[in-house]
Each structure stands twice: as structure tokens, then as C-alpha cells.
Structure 1
Amino acid sequence: MTKDKDTKTVVPALRFPEFRDGEGWHNVRLIDVTDKRIKWHFTGGPFGSNLKASDYTNSGIRVIQLQNIGDGYFVEDYKIYTSIEKSDELLGCNIYPGNIIMSKMGDPVGRACLIPDNEDRYLMCSDGIKLVIDEDKNDKYFIIKAINAEEFRRKIERSATGSTRKRISLDTLRDLTLLISNNKVEQKKIAECLGSLDDLISAVADKIETLKEYKKGLMQQLFPAEGKTIPAIRFPEFRNAPDWQEMSLRDIGEIITGSTPCTKDSNNYGGEKLFVSPADITDKRYVSQTKTTLSEKGFRLSRRIKENSILFVCIGSTIGKVAQNTRECATNQQINSIMPYKGHVADFVYSILEHYAPQIASIAGNQAVPIINKTLFSSVSLLMPKEEEQKKIADCLLSVDELISTEIDKLDQLKAHKKGLMQQLFPKLQ
């Protein structure tokens, strides 16, 4: 750390050689990196309640929603539009490519991204904040990285209000300070370094999505379509085999609904036994570690699930998520587990449940807390082939899942590397 006579400055732990003798970084208010020559250089979106159902159109000006604001990236999904006339009426809420938009509520609050070049302009959501960077003084790609750096994100979290859903006001956010280099060349160098890593992360993420789409298409061919009793594609050795037979889940395996040991007794928790909740079921096929673990005592009070069973979320907003456990575990009551009987291949049961998960989830209907109880879940019918064909299909899909898992691990490693690199490239106030 270094100190000027008048202004406290700091230097990052890792600095490019040509800037090591340069001046330290300074704290500046967020409002002061914006371009004050532009009327709406820093503004919130006040119009949320002004958009009525009749204001939405099939095309026109795209409306940015909170769901579009990723943590450092723009999410292309969730497309809604309004008319050009409505956008003109709300001119101060118009956003243009290269602007930065931040969320002033949500989890996490203050996530930010650059607006892409896909449209000529956009309209900002009611819970977004627009920043137009003064590009004569600052590199916008550097500023977005600085906003997403750990130091500034902690400031946002500390300044946000609310318990269930955090929120930060426009006035509070504008006066928060972030550490930046005053050297635009250094800013650009850092932005380019992190940008190349972002490109790599994006490429791996795209590969994962491509593999998932490939797997989805493969499953549509390997499992019978609605109204059919054999799949469109069948391995040669099974082309003359009998049609698949309809069976209920209760006939395929033992079904166990999880339970939660008393949380008031701390002796039930903190051991080495896995305790699976929906939050532990991710894009990966296998659950090998959990956020909460059970002691031997807690595990004895639980309903034990054998290794390589199939775990299906049957309650809540993530209903339909499915996974397999790599070792003996217990689950909470939101999960129904299937331990396949002899003659049924666990890996196949996982894959067929994954394929039909959306249809099974729809059984819960539209209710505040969707639920499929054990009786209803047990009655779900699936078409099943003989054991040898099950194994062949399972092995085929398992190979794709292994490719996906490898890429997800690579993506996690790249994200961890980026996080560590940002901690080195952006200084912290001591």
C-alpha cells in the first residue's frame, strides 16, 4: 500500500510491469465515472407500473428484465417487447449498446452487465439502473469489471436493505465508491486480460449447452414418443425385441420420501453423511457432496438411500430436478428417491426420469407450492424395455453425461481462476 499526501491510494497485488511504478489507484464515486454531458447518464427505471398488458408487443423495442442481468454477462433469454411509441414516451429509460445496467434488487443485488449490440436500443426495467460511462476518461470494459470486483460487491451488500430480497436505492448506489486506476491504458490492459478469460468461459459454457441440446435430441430418439411403444432409434440387437412395457414407478423400484432430523439438536448434523436437498442437485448428474451433512446419530434418524439411487425433487420451485447419489445418503422431504429393483438398471431409470421430468413435474399443477406426493409419484407410468436394452441405452447416455460433467468441471475451474485473478488485479482498502 502507498499513500499520497492528500488522497489515500492503493496498488493491486498483481500489476502489469509497465504500470508498477505508476500512481496508486483511487476511490471514486460511481456517479463520477459516468458521462455527465449526457442527460440520463445515471438513472433508475421509474416506469415499471406504467407498462400495462396492452403495452407489450410481439416485436419493437426489447424491454430489459431483471432476469436478463447476469452476474457480469447479459442473459439473452426472457424476451419481451414494447412499441417504439412507448419507448419514445419513456426516453429517459432507453438503454443503448455499451451502456451498463445494474439490478437494484434481487439475489445478488447490484449484479451488472454491459448491454450488447443485438438491438439499436432497449427499454430498462423498473428495477434496473443505467450507467453511461465517460469513455474519454475510463474504459467501460474495465468499469464493468471494477463494479463486479469483490470490494465493490461487498459495499453494495452492506448498503442494501431488506431481509428476504435485498434492495439498494439509486441515491445510495450513486455515492458508493469503487477503486480504479486513473490510467486508461492500464484500465484497458486489465479489461483485455479479463475479457480473454471471459471469452474462454463463454466458449466452454456454449459447449456445455451444445452437449445438453445434443443429449436432449438423442433422448428424443432413444425413448418412445407419445403414443408409441418403441423408440425411433433402436440398437441393432434389439430391433426385433418386444415393445416396451408400461410400468408404474412403484413396480420399478422402492420409493422413499426423505425426512429431516430435528434441526434443534445440533448433534444430528456436521458429520460425514450426505444430506441431500434440492439445492444440492445441479446441472451435474451426480451428487457427491452436500451443503449440509449428518452425523451418525442424525443419519440413524433418517431414511437411508442406497448408493446410485435416483433422487427426484417433488416439492417446490425446482420440482422435476433429478440426480443420482454416488454414495449412501439421506434426503429432505422435498425429494422422493427410487432404489431400483433387480431387473432395472439405475442409470437407465435416471435417464428416463430426466427425459420425462417436465411431464412429471406438470402433474403438480399450478399452485403456490407445487407438490407431487409419494402416492402420486409412485403411480407415474413409464414405458420400460428389458434389462439388456436398458443397459445399452444407459451406457450411451452416460458417455454424454461424462462429457458434460468434464466441461462443467472445466467451467468451474475457469470461474475460480477468474475470481482469484480479479482479487489480484483489483486492490483492497486495508
Structure 2
Amino acid sequence: MSDSSMNEPTSGLVPRLRFPEFREAGEWEEKPLGKLCEILNNRRQPITSNNRVSGPYPYYGASGIVDYVADFIFDERLVLMGEDGAKWGAFEKTAFIAEGKYWVNNHAHVLKPRGLSDVLLEAILTMIDVSPYITGAAPPKLTLGKLKKIPITVPASVLEKQKIAACLSSLDALIAAQADKLDALKTHKKGLMQQLFPREGETVPRLRFPEFREAGEWNTKLVKGLISTVTPPKKLTSNLYEDEGRFPVIDQSQSYICGWTDDEEALVSCDVPLLVFGDHTCVLKIVDQPFAQGADGIKIIKANREVEPAFLYQYLLHNPVGMESYKRHFSTLKEKIVVYPDINTGEQQKIAACLSSLDALIAAQADKLDALKTHKKGLMQQLFPSPEAVAA
């Protein structure tokens, strides 16, 4: 959809971009949510974790699927919206569509749209800031009464509603296809790692590159015998740049970069790539550029001459029980067994290069997925009248 195919109204309850055939269709209508939906909360039922019988049907809570159970109470497409324990800010996935056979607990409102599609309603509820309608603090809650009062702005024309919903549905299909492609790559890498590294208790992998098939068994050693730790010159916990600065400041968060700095006196040199391990989050990253350490809670790890840093990184990611097996502490990580080929044969480097190339593909696909989501968000902001924070 190009900007040239739509007009740009300047006032009233109208979007900034509009399909050509609706340019003269007038302002949109504002109605309370309770007038646009049948609310099916009386049909939902909570099941305590002790009483749940595992099965194939999704069990929905405030923000999505929380379990799978043996029975269902809904068998139709409906819109779910968090009642408590959810996020209610703009674009925080306040609402989502459930379809097929599923169960819903009492933490999500169940909405059946009337006069507009579920895709359109989900998009509108996702866009707006519902937080002014939230009451209480322990926990905060979107009550049924407040839910019904949320003002929803929709086109008067049924055809315009359908056109917008079709546009968003096509984007959703692209996003879903891209997400499937990303998941397939991750699954492929996981399966490849299971073959490129020996199984527990073994010293030869099931799959080897042709030139190493006669290279013999791998070596075995504890992590602590293959590494040393690096102490940073100092730690930076304040006065960090959010998106500027020449050097990243690393902590133990999932994103692992908590800010940026120009302070060269705080830098850890990266003559060779280093591993960074979060003591409490179990996040493991490999870093190949100078950086500063942020808050406490990370260990900076340097591989010795027996192992390539990238090989050790991939091997530790491959842990069959997952990072939780490290019990959230570096002292446990040090006792983990590593099985590795002789570094002089080049097998470590070949495995690391193979898996790193897959990581690059996965990162590229993840960027494409993020770009599609960003495009959809930007388009929604133009296809709907600008959502002001709704007043309770």
C-alpha cells in the first residue's frame, strides 16, 4: 500500500491515510466497546495447575497461552483481552485472537465482535493505551465495567472496515510466514548441533565433516580447565548513553547491552573474542569488540589455547538441559564437562564457522521479522485515527 493511494485528512475522527474509495466517506464513529462486542466471560473457567490434565488444547490466560489441557470450552475465533496480570499500554499486545478449540481462564476477558471483524478489533485494542481504565494495585485489573466503557473508533462503512481488516490480515500472514521461517532455521540449527557435538558420555559426534572422519576421539576437560576470567578496569553503572557512544556497556540482561560509553579507561580489550555469562540470568554471549562492564552479575570468560572461543560458545549453548543446568551461578558452569577436538586439526574452527553462519542467517531472518512488525505498527498508526490515551 503506497502513500500516494490515500489522502491525508487533517482533522476530525479520520485516519491520516485512507483507501481512495473512502476519501469522502466522512468521519469515523466512536462507540463504547460494550456496544461492539458480546462478552462471553460467563463461559470461561479457571483450572488450578494441580487439576489440569495435559492435552492438545491451548489454555489461555491474560497474555496468551499458559498451558495445554485435555479439554476445551471454546471452538470459535474470539478476541481475548487481559483482565489482570496483563499489559495495557499502546502496542503491548493487550488483545489477541484465539481460534480453534481452546480453554480460557478467568484472567482474560472473552470478546465476540459485532459489526466488525476480530482482526479489526484486535488491531484497535492493541493500538490504544488502556491503562487509564485500569483500577487497583494488587493486582491492577481491567474490570468488566471499565472494559465496556473503552471508546472504540471505527469506520461507519462496512466496506471500509473490511478493506482495513483484509490489509492487516495480509500483513499478519506475512509476519506468520516469516516467524515460521525463523523457527525452522532455529530448529535446523538445534538438530545440527545435536549431531556435530557428541552425546552425553560419548567422545565422537554422530556427524563429522569428511576431512575429520578419521581424526579419532575428542578430548574431555572441565570448563575451568579451558578458561580464565577477565577483570574489567572498572564498572560503569551510571551516566551511560542510551543510543550513542563508541563502546557498548554489557550487563546480564537478555539484550546484554545496557548502554553506551566513550570512556576508554573502562574498556575490556577483545584481542580474541570473549564470552560473557550472566550469573542470575544464565545469558551467554560472545563479544568481539571492546566493551565496558555494567552492573555486577556477569563473568567475562577468556578461552585458553586449547579451544576456539566460538567453538566453546556454541558448545555451551548446546547443553542438552539448557542454561538452567548451570544453576544460575558461574561456580556450577566451571564444573561442566566439555568434549572438544584438538584445536590444531581445524575441526573446532570448521564447526564454529558452520554454526556461526547459521546464527547470522537466524539474525537476518529475525531482523526481517522485526521489520515487518515495525511496518505493520507504522501502517496501523496511519490507518486509524491517532489514538489518544483514553480517559477513564
Coarse TM-score class (shorter-chain normalised):
0.7 to 0.9
Q: Secondary structure at the match of 2:113?
A: coil
Match of 2:302 among 334, 339, 348: 339
Give the structure 2 partner of residue 16 of structure 1: 19
Q: Secondary structure at the match of 1:336?
A: strand
Opposite residue 94 of structure 2, the aligned amino acid is R
Match of 1:78 among 67, 89, 109: 67
Compared with structure 1, are the counterparts of its residues 341 and 208 closer, same or farther at alpha carbon in structure 2 (3 Å cutoff)?
same
Give the structure 1 partner of residue 5 of structure 2: none
Give the structure 2 partner of residue 142 of structure 1: 120
Compared with structure 1, are the counterparts of its residues 111 and 336 closer, same or farther at alpha carbon in structure 2 (3 Å cutoff)?
same
Q: Does 1:372 align with 2:347?
A: no
Q: Secondary structure at the match of 2:203?
A: coil
Q: Which structure 1 segments of 5+ residues have no match?
A: 4-8, 36-40, 70-74, 85-93, 282-286, 365-370
- Whether the 8 Å CA contact 1:360–1:380 is kept in 2: the answer is no
Compared with structure 1, are the counterparts of its residues 179 and 353 closer, same or farther at alpha carbon in structure 2 (3 Å cutoff)?
same
Structure 1 residues 113-132: aligned runs within 5 Å: 113-117=96-100, 119=101, 122-132=102-112
- Whether the 8 Å CA contact 1:309–1:324 is kept in 2: the answer is yes
The TM-score with structure 1 as length reference comes to 0.77
Compared with structure 1, are the counterparts of its residues 295 and 129 closer, same or farther at alpha carbon in structure 2 (3 Å cutoff)?
same
Q: Which structure 2 segments of 5+ residues have no match?
A: 1-8
Q: Secondary structure at the match of 1:78?
A: strand
**CA shift at 1:352, angstroms?**
0.6
Compared with structure 1, are the counterparts of its residues 353 and 162 closer, same or farther at alpha carbon in structure 2 (3 Å cutoff)?
farther
**CA shift at 1:178, angstroms?**
1.9
**1:291-347 Cα distance to aligned partner (Å, 9 max, x none):** 422451xx745766666322223314xx2x322224212344333232222342122
Give the structure 2 partner of residue 254 of structure 1: 228
2:160 and 2:60 map into 1 onto residues whose CA distance is: 32
Structure 1 residues 88-237: aligned runs within 5 Å: 94-109=73-88, 111-117=94-100, 119=101, 122-134=102-114, 137-149=115-127, 152=128, 154=129, 156-161=130-135, 166-237=140-211
2:13 and 2:20 map into 1 onto residues whose CA distance is: 16
**1:351-395 Cα distance to aligned partner (Å, 9 max, x none):** 11110173552241xxxxxx313x332232211111211001111
2:149 and 2:261 map into 1 onto residues whose CA distance is: 45
Opposite residue 348 of structure 1, the aligned amino acid is F
The TM-score with structure 2 as length reference comes to 0.84
Compared with structure 1, are the counterparts of its residues 267 and 57 closer, same or farther at alpha carbon in structure 2 (3 Å cutoff)?
closer
Compared with structure 1, are the counterparts of its residues 337 and 161 closer, same or farther at alpha carbon in structure 2 (3 Å cutoff)?
farther
Q: Secondary structure at the match of 2:67?
A: coil
Give the structure 2 partner of residue 34 of structure 1: 37
1:164 and 1:408 map into 2 onto residues whose CA distance is: 36
Compared with structure 1, are the counterparts of its residues 376 and 302 closer, same or farther at alpha carbon in structure 2 (3 Å cutoff)?
farther
- Whether the 8 Å CA contact 1:96–1:115 is kept in 2: the answer is no
Q: Secondary structure at the match of 1:279?
A: coil
Match of 1:244 among 218, 225, 240: 218
Give the structure 2 partner of residue 314 of structure 1: 279
1:425 and 1:239 map into 2 onto residues whose CA distance is: 59
Compared with structure 1, are the counterparts of its residues 17 and 314 closer, same or farther at alpha carbon in structure 2 (3 Å cutoff)?
same
Q: Does 1:427 align with 2:385?
A: yes
**1:110-129 Cα distance to aligned partner (Å, 9 max, x none):** 62111212x2xx33212110
Opposite residue 424 of structure 1, the aligned amino acid is Q
Opposite residue 212 of structure 2, the aligned amino acid is F
**1:21-64 Cα distance to aligned partner (Å, 9 max, x none):** 002112211111114xxxxx25378754xx34564224486532
**CA shift at 1:141, angstroms?**
2.0
Opposite residue 329 of structure 2, the aligned amino acid is I
**1:192-237 Cα distance to aligned partner (Å, 9 max, x none):** 1111111111101101111111111100000000111110111222
Opposite residue 65 of structure 1, the aligned amino acid is G
Count of residues in Structure 1 that have an aligned counterpart in Structure 2: 372
- Whether the 8 Å CA contact 1:44–1:127 is kept in 2: the answer is no
1:308 and 1:158 map into 2 onto residues whose CA distance is: 48
Give the structure 1 partner of residue 259 of structure 2: 292
Compared with structure 1, are the counterparts of its residues 349 and 262 closer, same or farther at alpha carbon in structure 2 (3 Å cutoff)?
closer
Give the structure 1 partner of residue 287 of structure 2: 325
**CA shift at 1:139, angstroms?**
2.3
**1:80-105 Cα distance to aligned partner (Å, 9 max, x none):** 245x7xxxxxxxxx434121111123
**CA shift at 1:107, angstroms?**
5.0
Opposite residue 122 of structure 2, the aligned amino acid is I
2:347 and 2:332 map into 1 onto residues whose CA distance is: 27
- Whether the 8 Å CA contact 1:253–1:339 is kept in 2: the answer is yes
Give the structure 2 partner of residue 284 of structure 1: none
Q: Secondary structure at the match of 2:109?
A: strand
Give the structure 1 partner of residue 351 of structure 2: 393
